[in-house]
């Protein structure tokens, strides 16, 4: 009985705490209580086979035609690194490059692993500023390799100064979990073309809103429950005229699959207090000196070992190799923090269970023509969360409908050498989640929709300076069915759909531009599990990715894989041939 429900909760991946011991004497249901993780045995793989290459489908980074100056930033083998200080290196900006002006900077992560290992969350920080949050791929006996490329040009000012680089992966190697991550990563600096001198787009200063070293794990804050508030004091230069807070977030252990967690009254009524609850709604709240100034309703990233690890091989889940970060325009609040004293950003997660990793980067633009800007917050409105839950269950079966809405709006002016600009920044978020439990909780169906709108209007007394709008639509669907087939063995099937869509609009007196991403992934699979390892199974994935913008044009990819093999992979660099 009650299998898929537990099987779903069974797959706790991108692990961060010490592996719990395995349960030779415990029953499978008891095993669920301890939230074990799974890896793949797949003995049919010959050790002589060549390594498998894993990848996440995303758009290629548009590069200038110049030759890059490339630097190996770190080479390290991450073996038993759990609860050890982050691996560190001294970073110095490029000094021997033909040019000192760059129009693109790219981080390239290359890793290899072989054997058996869980997926592990990791972070890279430069001077405490997070520049990549990612998850490792799960190795195979024949070995795997994977590469992550990320455009890090927005961290330009940081990359032009000496910094301490920190990398944390909490890996554990023992006789069964043998996978060591052999990592090399590079920064590629592309000198600006003559006609392509870097516009003043990157911030002049980026302050870390993360934990201070020394630490024995990541520089992220760990948020363990719904009342846990983590905060950081900071002070900004008094000549800032624009500020954007960029937030990194990932969810683990009891909340790795928060969108499938059930309400506590269901858990109590069924006497299953041992499983993860608090319902299916989560949000990261950001406060400034105690007032909520922004909310993040995160995309449902599934790590490389999530639900059924075979679904994500070789095509990894959306966002799993490069987790999205989220920007909040906080320019209207500058009036509150330009006073030269310390202030606090704090983070909490509504309904959180252990554990959420959250930190932020404060991007600041400084007025080079003055030592002091002025500002005032004119209007602040942050309505309480509107929330509803309708539960209808008998025993272990039933349905749960959760709806939520939140809006936050900030208006304030800043006076700098650019004039007095009034900025209105607002967020409007809606959430809808439906869960169905059937077949005595062998079956779980989850449908979640998040709409996440951000708008920024900046104007001088008489005319608009700039309008930035972002409309995000995140969708998640899971169909999961399971059956116990013996002692500590069971079979399950699961179908997953992930959608990450975003449309951005930008208007200013110089014109307007638009860009959009439509990223859709469907995956289906089954597996037979024994003792936390997949004995056999199959995973298939289909993905379409479309990116369109007024400057770089359109990129479209339509790809599919099954049983580790790519079935088709079509790339178009122009979308004119696409039917809508
Ligand atoms: C620049 O110097 C670094 C060492 O500081 C070296 O690793 C790199 O290869 C050099 N790059 C070029 C383009 O000469
Ligand atoms: C940056 O580091 C390099 C190499 O350690 C050193 O030579 C240089 O003086 C440093 N620059 C600053 C501004 O500290
Ligand atoms: C929540 O987590 C914090 C930080 O670990 C802890 O101090 C606090 O006791 C926890 N609260 C509850 C209700 O568990
Ligand atoms: C709930 O479960 C616990 C532990 O399995 C058991 O001891 C207890 O009797 C159960 N209570 C009810 C009301 O079933
Ligand atoms: C920031 O928060 C900490 C912990 O809550 C508190 O001790 C400190 O006084 C706060 N600082 C400011 C400037 O509000
Ligand atoms: C609750 O679920 C049962 C069984 O599916 C159904 O018959 C009933 O109409 C539902 N009640 C409500 C209020 O939706
Ligand atoms: C700011 O924008 C929000 C959302 O568009 C709007 O409701 C609010 O009236 C605006 N406030 C001001 C002061 O313009
Ligand atoms: C987001 O913006 C779109 C387009 O204007 C609108 O249809 C939708 O209702 C908005 N959603 C929220 C949550 O504000
Ligand atoms: C799951 O996916 C398989 C393969 O595409 C399909 O045959 C099956 O109908 C799907 N099941 C559900 C419930 O969507
Ligand atoms: C992707 O390719 C498959 C196989 O050729 C095709 O069936 C599907 O319609 C394509 N999808 C799109 C959006 O073009
Ligand atoms: C997957 O491919 C392997 C060979 O690489 C083969 O042995 C196995 O039978 C295939 N599995 C399925 C379910 O087709």
Atom of ligand 7 nearest to the CA of 424: 1
Helix (H) or strand (E) holding 23: none
- 69 alpha carbon, closest ligand: 1
pTM for this structure? 0.93
Q: Which two tokens stand for residue 205?
A: 């200063």
Whole-number Cα distances in Å, 146 to 49, 113, 350, 464, 575: 16, 9, 34, 45, 28
Give residue 343's region: left, alpha or beta (phi > 0; psi -120 to 50): beta
pLDDT at 534: 84
39, pLDDT greater than 90: no
Would the CB of 225 count as within 6 Å of ligand 3?
yes
Give the Cα separation of 387 and 405 in Å (integer): 7
Atom of ligand 8 nearest to the CA of 451: 13
Beta strands 356-366; 221-223: pairing state: antiparallel
Share of residues in the chain with pLDDT > 90 (%) = 78
Counted domains in the chain: 1
Helix, strand or coil, per DSSP, at residue 380: strand
**For residues 26-55, average pLDDT:** 55
Q: Which two tokens stand for residue 521?
A: 């992934």
Q: In the structure, what pLDDT confidence band is assigned to residue 550 with cuts at 50, 70 and 90?
A: confident
Residue nearest to atom 4 of ligand 10 (CA): 568
133, pLDDT greater than 50: yes
580, pLDDT greater than 70: no
CA of residue 563 to ligand 11 center, whole Å: 6
Would the CB of 354 count as within 6 Å of ligand 5?
no
Ligand 10: which of 558, 566, 574 to mutate, most ligand atoms within 8 Å of CB?
Answer: 558
CA of residue 200 to ligand 7 center, whole Å: 27
CB 434 within 8 A of CB 453: no
pLDDT at 530: 81
Q: In the structure, what pLDDT confidence band is assigned to residue 277 with cuts at 50, 70 and 90?
A: very high
b/e code 308-343 from CB counts within 10 Å (16+ = b): bbbbbbbbbbbbbbbbbbbbbbbbbbbbbbbeeeeb
CB 122 within 8 A of CB 135: yes
Domain around 572: 5-577
- 449 alpha carbon, closest ligand: 8
pLDDT at 153: 96
36, pLDDT greater than 80: no
Sign of CA dihedral 278, 279, 282, 288: negative
| Residue 494 C-beta-side C-alpha neighbours within 13 Å | 29
Sign of CA dihedral 460, 461, 463, 464: positive
Q: Is 344 exposed, middle or buried (0-12, 13-18, 19+ CB in 10 A)?
A: middle
Q: Which two tokens stand for residue 418?
A: 């650019």
Would the CB of 238 count as within 6 Å of ligand 10?
no
pLDDT at 488: 73
Q: Across all residues in the chain, what is the average pLDDT?
A: 89
Helix, strand or coil, per DSSP, at residue 495: strand
Q: How many CB atoms lie within 10 A of CB 527?
A: 25
Apex 360 CA angle, 339 and 58, nearest 5: 140
Q: In the structure, what pLDDT confidence band is assigned to residue 577 with cuts at 50, 70 and 90?
A: low
Residue nearest to atom 13 of ligand 5 (CA): 343
Q: What is the pLDDT of residues 354-403, one digit of tens each?
A: 999 999 999 999 999 999 999 999 999 999 999 999 999 999 999 999 99
Edge-to-edge, what's the strand order for the sheet holding 121-126? Answer: 87-91, 163-169, 121-126, 129-135
Q: What is the pLDDT of residues 54-100, one digit of tens each?
A: 999 999 999 999 999 999 999 999 999 999 999 999 999 998 898 88
Q: Which of 49-53, 255-259, 481-485 has the lowest mean pLDDT?
A: 481-485
Would the CB of 344 count as within 6 Å of ligand 5?
yes
Helix, strand or coil, per DSSP, at residue 333: helix
221, pLDDT greater than 80: yes
Would the CB of 576 count as within 6 Å of ligand 2?
no
Helix, strand or coil, per DSSP, at residue 291: strand
My answer on whether omega of the bond before 314 falls inside 30° of 0, hence cis, is: yes
Would the CB of 430 count as within 6 Å of ligand 3?
no
Q: In the structure, what pLDDT confidence band is assigned to residue 41 with cuts at 50, 70 and 90?
A: low
Q: Which of 43-47, 339-343, 486-490 has the lowest mean pLDDT?
A: 43-47
Give the Cα separation of 271 and 58 in Å (integer): 44
Beta strands 102-113; 181-191: pairing state: antiparallel
Residue nearest to atom 14 of ligand 8 (CA): 428
pLDDT at 14: 54
CA of residue 223 to ligand 3 center, whole Å: 9
CA of residue 317 to ligand 10 center, whole Å: 19
15, pLDDT greater than 60: no
Residue nearest to atom 14 of ligand 1 (CA): 96
Q: In the structure, what pLDDT confidence band is assigned to residue 46 with cuts at 50, 70 and 90?
A: low
Atom of ligand 10 nearest to the CA of 558: 1
**For residues 509-523, average pLDDT:** 94
- 340 alpha carbon, closest ligand: 5
Helix (H) or strand (E) holding 252: none
Q: Which two tokens stand for residue 398?
A: 């039933």
168, pLDDT greater than 90: yes
CA of residue 453 to ligand 8 center, whole Å: 6
Would the CB of 162 count as within 6 Å of ligand 2?
yes
* Residues facing 554 on adjacent strands: 548
Q: In the structure, what pLDDT confidence band is assigned to residue 552 with cuts at 50, 70 and 90?
A: confident
Would the CB of 234 count as within 6 Å of ligand 9?
no
b/e code 81-111 from CB counts within 10 Å (16+ = b): bbebebbbeebebbeebeeeebbbbbbbbbb
Residue nearest to atom 10 of ligand 9 (CA): 495
CA of residue 515 to ligand 8 center, whole Å: 17
Give the Cα separation of 348 and 326 in Å (integer): 15
pLDDT at 96: 85
CA of residue 279 to ligand 6 center, whole Å: 19
CB 533 within 8 A of CB 41: yes
244, pLDDT greater than 60: yes
pLDDT at 16: 39
Would the CB of 287 count as within 6 Å of ligand 7?
no
CA of residue 351 to ligand 3 center, whole Å: 13
**For residues 427-450, average pLDDT:** 96
* Residues facing 402 on adjacent strands: 389, 433
* Residues facing 133 on adjacent strands: 123
pLDDT at 195: 52
CA of residue 261 to ligand 4 center, whole Å: 21
pLDDT at 463: 75
Q: In the structure, what pLDDT confidence band is assigned to residue 44 with cuts at 50, 70 and 90?
A: very low
Q: What is the pLDDT of residues 314-338, one digit of tens each?
A: 999 999 999 999 999 999 999 999 9
Q: What is the pLDDT of residues 100-126, one digit of tens each?
A: 889 999 999 999 999 988 999 999 999
């Amino acid at each position: 009985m009650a299998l898929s429900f537990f099987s779903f909760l069974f797959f706790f991946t991108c692990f961060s705490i010490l592996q719990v011991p395995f349960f030779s004497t415990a029953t499978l249901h008891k095993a669920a209580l301890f939230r074990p993780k799974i890896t793949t045995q797949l003995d049919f793989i010959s050790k002589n086979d060549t390594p498998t290459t894993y990848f996440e489908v995303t758009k290629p980074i548009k590069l200038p035609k110049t030759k890059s100056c490339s630097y190996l930033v770190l080479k390290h083998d991450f073996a038993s690194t759990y609860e050890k200080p982050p691996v560190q290196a001294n970073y110095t900006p490029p000094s021997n490059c033909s040019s000192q002006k760059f129009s693109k900077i790219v981080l390239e992560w290359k890793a290899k692993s072989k054997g058996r290992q869980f997926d592990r969350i990791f972070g890279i920080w430069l001077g405490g500023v997070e520049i990549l949050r990612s998850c490792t791929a799960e190795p195979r006996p024949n070995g795997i390799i994977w590469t992550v490329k990320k455009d890090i040009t927005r961290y330009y000012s940081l990359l032009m100064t000496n910094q301490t680089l920190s990398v944390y992966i909490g890996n554990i190697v023992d006789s069964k979990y043998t996978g060591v991550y052999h990592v090399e990563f590079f920064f590629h600096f592309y000198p600006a073309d003559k006609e392509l001198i870097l516009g003043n787009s990157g911030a002049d200063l980026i302050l870390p809103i993360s934990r201070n070293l020394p630490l024995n794990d990541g520089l992220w804050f760990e948020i363990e429950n719904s009342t846990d508030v983590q905060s950081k004091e900071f002070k900004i230069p008094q000549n800032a005229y624009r500020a954007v807070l960029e937030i990194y977030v990932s969810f683990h252990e009891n909340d790795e699959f928060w969108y499938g967690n059930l309400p506590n009254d269901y858990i109590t009524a069924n006497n299953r207090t041992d499983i993860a609850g608090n319902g299916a709604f989560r949000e990261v709240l950001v406060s400034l000196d105690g007032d909520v100034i922004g909310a993040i309703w995160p995309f449902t990233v599934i790590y490389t070992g999530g639900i059924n690890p075979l679904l994500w091989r070789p095509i990894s889940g959306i966002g799993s190799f490069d987790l999205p970060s989220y920007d909040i325009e906080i320019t209207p609040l500058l009036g509150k923090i330009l006073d030269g004293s310390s202030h606090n950003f704090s983070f909490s997660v509504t309904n959180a269970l252990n554990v959420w990793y959250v930190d932020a980067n404060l991007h600041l633009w400084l007025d080079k023509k003055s030592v002091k800007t002025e500002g005032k917050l004119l209007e602040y409105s942050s309505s309480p969360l509107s929330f509803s839950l309708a539960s209808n269950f008998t025993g272990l079966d039933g349905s749960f409908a959760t709806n939520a809405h939140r809006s936050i709006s900030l208006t304030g002016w800043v006076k700098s050498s650019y004039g007095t600009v009034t900025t209105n920044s607002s967020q409007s978020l809606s959430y809808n989640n439906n869960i169905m439990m059937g077949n005595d909780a062998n079956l779980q169906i989850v449908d979640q929709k998040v709409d996440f709108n951000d708008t920024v209007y900046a104007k001088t007394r008489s005319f608009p300076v700039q309008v930035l709008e972002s409309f995000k639509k995140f969708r998640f669907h899971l169909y999961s069915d399971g059956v116990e087939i013996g002692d500590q063995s069971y079979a399950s099937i699961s179908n997953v759909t992930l959608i990450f869509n975003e449309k951005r609009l930008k208007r200013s007196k110089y014109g307007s531009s638009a860009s959009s991403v439509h990223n859709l992934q469907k995956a289906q699979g089954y597996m037979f599990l024994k003792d936390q390892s997949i004995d056999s199974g199959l995973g298939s994935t289909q993905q379409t990715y479309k990116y369109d913008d007024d400057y770089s044009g359109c990129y479209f990819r339509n790809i599919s894989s099954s049983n580790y093999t790519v079935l088709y992979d079509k790339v178009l660099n122009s979308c004119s041939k696409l039917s809508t």
